[in-house]
Amino acid sequence: MAQAAIELIGINKSFGAVRANRDINLEIARGTIHGIVGENGAGKSTLMSILYGFYQADSGEIRVGGNPASIKTPNDAIALGIGMVHQHFMLVDNFSVLENIILGAESDALLKRSIAKARSELERLEREYGLDVDPDAIIEELPVGLQQRVEILKALYRGAEILILDEPTGVLTPAEADHLFRILKQLKDQGKTVVLITHKLREIMAITDTVSVMRQGTMVATRETRKTTVEELAELMVGRRVLLRVEKGEAEAGAVKLAVKNLTVKDSRGVTMVDDISFDVRGGEIVGIAGVAGNGQSELLEAISGIRRAVSGSVMLDGKPIDLTGAADPGELRDRGLAHVPEDRHHVGLVLAFEENENSILGYHDDPRYLRGPFLNVDAIMADARDKIEKYDIRPGNPRLKTANFSGGNQQKIVLAREIEQDPGVLIVGQPTRGVDVGAIEFIHKRLIAMRDQGKAVLVVSVELDEIRSLSDRILVMFAGRIVGERGPEATEGELGLLMAGVERQEAAA
């Protein structure tokens, strides 16, 4: 049995009322590649930030190499031989590779000697681990895969024995990712310990020895990789919570209300996030888009709702095209009957500093009902807000209260009430119940199904498989920007989990 490189014992960490880590126990064996999987917000990054000294745990103990360690800053972590490669690189773009590597580890007041020393050390590291990078290349001229290699070299230069990689393949092409895995295996062979944080199950299966699954701040399981399966991990990740099945009848799908054709969308870094997607949503049906977070769902929603520019393709709303050039006015789309409940209600769907009644008109503040000439019709707005508060059971029922003081579930109800009460023809909803208390989930689901039963077209994107399965009449699975499969609501969790993990080919044969 290999000796433990790192032991975490009873780690707890809260941010305000949110318990990001609760009572985490984890043992990482020396000389292994240990994967940590979990959905966004499961607490993986928080845990690693505690290990690397960005945060302090509220309680619990960290042992490195069997000895209790106090890690208060990243410097403490480095001194203990822990290195971290961040999801977003911490490199100075206009410095050379060598300059970046010695940054913060300069051993002399004058750079010359540090650089000479670093150069010979770097050459040794590159030979030993097969990490070829030109030491004099300027960072911004290097492709992303090589930049990541520099990050790894930086950690090794500082004497890292334990290397933590946070979502390392998110920005890599498949070929670059394969190369990275070869490097990681080589590091392991040299006796280094690697901790790989990811939500991509394929990577876990490909290179880890052990895998731990986190969900909602807790460590739910640790498995030997060769003794587990993608299905089991997906199930552990998504969680087998109480199935919140809301009663619903057969869908009576009508005419196509929303038609997406060959849509391609890039994010701000130029990475293709939505890759040539086509699908229809008909009146009277709920189409659910399942997928692990970060596979292009957010960009898809933003493009359809006119917030983000699309590269190519078309979206038809009631047979008429939506402007995808980025000049689309979300207000005009609202007038055409497209309502949008955004994924990020804190920054997009709501203004948290506003009073509840002010948020209940956001996006519809042009509506003459709420105006008296150029002035806000405060009486009408308040009456309207009270009406929605009653209908949607928003608590506390005070329209003058600051929105930030409502719970997640009630904030979501404020958004839903606003969008649904406008009686739109098409409703698109991102993460309908993220961060929403269990009581409100059922209510929200019922509302969405009621919309469907009125003949509206509803498009739901969610990372919660249970939710997708209980709401949808048709399920589309997104992986790496593409729709990799369509299933009916009777699809099993395992089946969808495989599609979500991007292993559709084996599945297609079955």
Partner 1 sequence: MSTPYAKLPAWADYGLIPLINLSVAFIVAGFVVLLVGENPFRAAVILVEGAFGKGTGIAFTLFYATTFIFTGLSVAVAAHCGLFNIGTEGQAYIAGLGIAIVCLSFDSVLPWWLTFPLAIVASAAVGALWALIPAYLQAKRGSHIVITTIMFNFIAASIMVYLLVGALKPAGSQAPQTRNFLAGAELPKLNWIIELFGAKIRSAPLNVTFLLALAMAFLVWLLIWRTKLGYEMRTYGHSPKAARYAGISETRIIITAMMISGALAGMMALNPVMGDQHNVAIDFVSGAGFVGIAVALMGRLHPVGIVLAAILFGMLYQGGAELAFEMPAISRDMIVIIQGLVILFAGALEHMFRPYIQALFASFSPRSVGMEAVKGKGA
Q: Report the residue number, 118 or 310, with the smaller CB distance to partner 1.
A: 310
Q: Is 331 in the site for partner 1 (CB under 8 A)?
A: yes
3-state secondary structure of 481: coil
Closest to partner 1 by CB, 18 or 103: 18
- List Cα–Cα distances, 178 to 37, 164, 203, 500, in angstroms: 19, 18, 9, 20
The answer to whether 52 and 77 have CB atoms below 8 angstroms apart is: yes
Q: Which is nearer to partner 1, 142 or 381 (CB)?
A: 381
Q: Which of 14, 40, 190, 492 binds partner 1 (CB under 8 A)?
A: 14
For the chain, the distance separating the N- and C-terminal CA atoms, rounded to the nearest angstrom, is 39
Stretch that binds partner 1, among 139-147, 273-281, 312-320, 344-352 (CB under 8 A): 344-352
- Dist. CA 208–CA 327, nearest whole Å: 46
505 binds partner 1, rule: CB under 8 A: no
Beta bridge partners of 485: 477
* Helix axis angle, 230-238 to 493-500, nearest 10°: 100
Nearer to partner 1, 285 or 299 (CB): 299
Nearest distance from residue 333's CB to partner 1, in Å? 8
Task: Give the strand pairing for 457-461 and 285-290.
Answer: parallel
Instruction: Report, in angstroms and rounded to the nearest whole number, the Rg of the chain calculated over CA atoms.
Output: 25
Instruction: Please give the residues from 259 up to 278 whose contact with partner 1 meets the rule CB under 8 A.
Output: none
Kindly tell me which of 147 and 433 has the beta carbon lying closer to partner 1.
433
Among 89, 346, 382, 504, binds partner 1 (CB under 8 A): 346
CA distance 98 to 490: 56
- Pattern of binders to partner 1 over 298-317, x per CB under 8 A? -------x-x----------
CB 309 within 8 A of CB 264: no
The residue assigned the tokens 């008109």 is: 361
Residue closest to 145 by CA, chosen among 195, 179, 105, 94: 179
Task: Determine, following the binding rule CB under 8 A, whether residue 407 of this chain makes contact with partner 1.
Answer: yes
Q: Is 183 an interacting residue with respect to partner 1 (CB under 8 A)?
A: no
Q: Does 136 bind partner 1 (CB under 8 A)?
A: no
Cα–Cα distance measured from residue 455 to residue 504, given in angstroms and rounded to the nearest whole number: 32
Could you tell me the two tokens for 344?
């990020």
Q: Does 215 bind partner 1 (CB under 8 A)?
A: no
Mind giving me the DSSP string for 292-303?
-TTSSHHHHHHH
User: Which residues in 419-448 contact partner 1 (CB under 8 A)?
Assistant: 435, 437
Q: Which one among 10, 254, 321, 330 touches partner 1, defined by CB under 8 A? A: 330
- Bridge partners of 29, per DSSP, are 4
Task: Report the residue from 4, 125, 293, 348 that binds partner 1 according to the rule CB under 8 A.
Answer: 348
Task: Tell me if 405 contacts partner 1 by CB under 8 A.
Answer: yes
* Nearest distance in Å: CB 24, partner 1: 16
450 binds partner 1 (CB under 8 A): no
- Which tokens is 3 given? 């000796």
Measured between alpha carbons, how far is 196 from 184 in angstroms, rounded to an integer? 10
Residue 329 in contact with partner 1, rule: CB under 8 A: yes
Residue 383 within binding range of partner 1, rule CB under 8 A: no
> Which of 4, 125, 137, 376 is in the footprint of partner 1 by CB under 8 A?
376
| CA 40, chain centre distance (Å) | 4
Query: Among 267, 402, 442, 494, which residue interacts with partner 1 (rule: CB under 8 A)?
Result: 402
Place of tokens 């845990």: 47
User: Which range, of 70-78, 128-136, 403-411, 484-492, touches partner 1 by CB under 8 A?
Assistant: 403-411
Per DSSP bridges, beta strands 474-479 and 482-487 are antiparallel
What string of H, E and C letters represents the secondary structure of 138-150?
A: EHHHCCHHHHHHH
Reading the block at residue 485, the tokens are 């499969």
> Considering the complex, what minimum distance in angstroms separates the CB of residue 57 from partner 1?
16
Select from 400, 425, 436 the least CA-distant residue to 415.
436
Nearer to partner 1, 89 or 354 (CB): 354
Q: Is 353 in the site for partner 1 (CB under 8 A)?
A: yes
Whether 309 and 287 have beta carbons less than 8 Å apart is answered as no
In the complex, minimum distance from the CB of residue 415 to partner 1, in angstroms, rounded to a whole number: 10
Considering beta carbons, is residue 40 or 492 the nearer one to partner 1? Answer: 40
Contact status: 493 vs partner 1 (CB under 8 A): no
Sign of the CA dihedral 236, 237, 241, 246? negative
Q: Of residues 378, 383, 450, 508, which one binds partner 1 by CB under 8 A?
A: 378
Selected range binding partner 1 among 132-140, 220-228, 399-407, 494-502, rule: CB under 8 A = 399-407
Contact partners, residue 400, CB within 8 Å, separation at least 6: 355, 356, 357
Rounded least distance, CB 216 to partner 1, Å: 10
- The number of residues that bind partner 1 (CB under 8 A) is 43
483 sits in which H/E element: strand 482-487
Question: In this complex, which beta carbon is closest to partner 1, that of residue 145 or of residue 425?
Answer: 425
Helix/strand/coil (H, E, C) string of 319-376?
A: CEECCCCCCCCHHHHHHCCEEEECCCHHHHHCCCCCEHHHHCCCCCCCCHHHEECCEE
Least CB distance from residue 349 to partner 1, whole Å? Answer: 7
Rounded to the nearest whole angstrom, what is the least distance from the CB of residue 367 to partner 1 in the complex?
10
Cβ(28)–Cβ(5) below 8 Å:
yes
Where on the chain is the footprint of partner 1 (CB under 8 A)?
A: 14-19, 305, 307, 329-334, 340, 342, 344, 346-354, 358, 362-363, 365-366, 371, 374-376, 378, 402, 404-405, 407-408, 435, 437
